[in-house]
A and B are shown apart, each in its own frame.
Chain A
Amino acid sequence: MNGLVMWLDGQKGNALSVCRMAMGLILVISGYNKLFNTGIPQVIEGFTNMGLFAAPVLGLLVPILEFFGGAAILLGLFSRLLSIWVVVQFFIITVYVKPILIGDGWNGTRIDVVLACLGFLVAAHGPGPLSLAGRLFRGMRWAE
């Protein structure tokens, strides 16, 4: 059992890379759907109907950030800074946009809760060993 635990200890960095890539993949797909399937005007309309503040700005910003930010997170570029945005966005979604935490609503909100938590983890730890920042911007911690 100790051998297994030691092997697991050695995989911590890779675990972060997997987390980061899973998070990035989900963001890219959500952003892609908003940009190319739903379309910006419909996203803005949806946000307006939800009663979000600054819906026209957010309706443009969120899809772009999700798609390009998600791609950068997936590749491991600026993943710590972008993860701060992930934490902020999905924390706001959890407590303010979809504040239904009990009952069937939870099944719609739990994904946002996990995204906020994994974002927190990536912001705190950085991108893990497999990242573009580690290759391109060696020694520049803010680019991690």
Chain B
Amino acid sequence: MNGLMSFLDGQRANGHLILRLAVGIILVYAGYGKLFGKGIPGVQEMFMQGGLPAASLLGILVPILEFFGGILIILGAFTRVLGIWMVIQFGLIVIWIKPGLWGKDFGDSFIDLMLFAAGIVLATAGPGIAALGPKILKQRWAD
């Protein structure tokens, strides 16, 4: 059992890497769909119907942040800052925008809850191994 635990201990850095890649791909894909599939006006309309404040502003910001933020997370730059944004965005989605947390529709919020948790990990632990930020920018806040 101790051998297994030691092996698992050794996988920590890899765990952060694969989480970063998975989260980045999910965000890029979601942002791509909003930017090039639905289009900004469609997203603004969707946000408006959802009763979001500043729907026209958020309708531009969210797709851009998801697409380019996701690319930066994959590359491993500004992951901590982007993690904070994820915590805010997906936290709001779980608590306020899709508040069916305990009902039948909770399955809809699963992915947002997971991305919220992943954002906390990115914000607190940074990008892990194989990341561009620490190599190029050499500023801890830009990790």
Asked if A54 lies at the interface with its beta carbon under 8 angstroms from chain B, I say: no
> Contact check: which of A9, A22, A110, A123 meets B117 at CB < 8 Å?
A22
Chain B interface: which size bin?
Answer: 35 or more
How far is it, in angstroms, between the C-alpha of A25 and the C-alpha of B102 when the chains are bound? 11
**Which residues of chain B from 101 to 124 have a CB within 8 Å of any chain A CB?**
106-107, 110-111, 113-118, 120-121, 123-124
> Contact check: which of B11, B16, B22, B121 meets A123 at CB < 8 Å?
B11
| Interface residues contributed by chain A, number (CB under 8 Å) | 38
Chain A contacts for B113, CB-based, 8 A: 22, 25-26
Main secondary structure of the interface of A (DSSP, over half): helix
**Which residues of chain B from 1 to 51 have a CB within 8 Å of any chain A CB?**
1-2, 4-5, 8-9, 11-12, 14-16, 18-19, 22-23, 26, 29
Asked if B130 lies at the interface with its beta carbon under 8 angstroms from chain A, I say: no
> Contact check: which of B12, B18, B107, B123 meets A117 at CB < 8 Å?
B18
Question: Closest CB of chain B to A36's CB: distance in Å?
Answer: 12
Question: Closest CB of chain A to B73's CB: distance in Å?
Answer: 13
Question: Closest CB of chain A to B24's CB: distance in Å?
Answer: 11
Asked if B138 lies at the interface with its beta carbon under 8 angstroms from chain A, I say: no
Some 19 contacts from A to B, beta carbons below 8 A apart, are: A8-B123, A11-B123, A14-B124, A18-B117, A18-B120, A22-B113, A25-B113, A80-B5, A84-B8, A110-B29, A113-B22, A113-B26, A114-B23, A115-B114, A117-B18, A121-B12, A123-B15, A141-B5, A142-B5
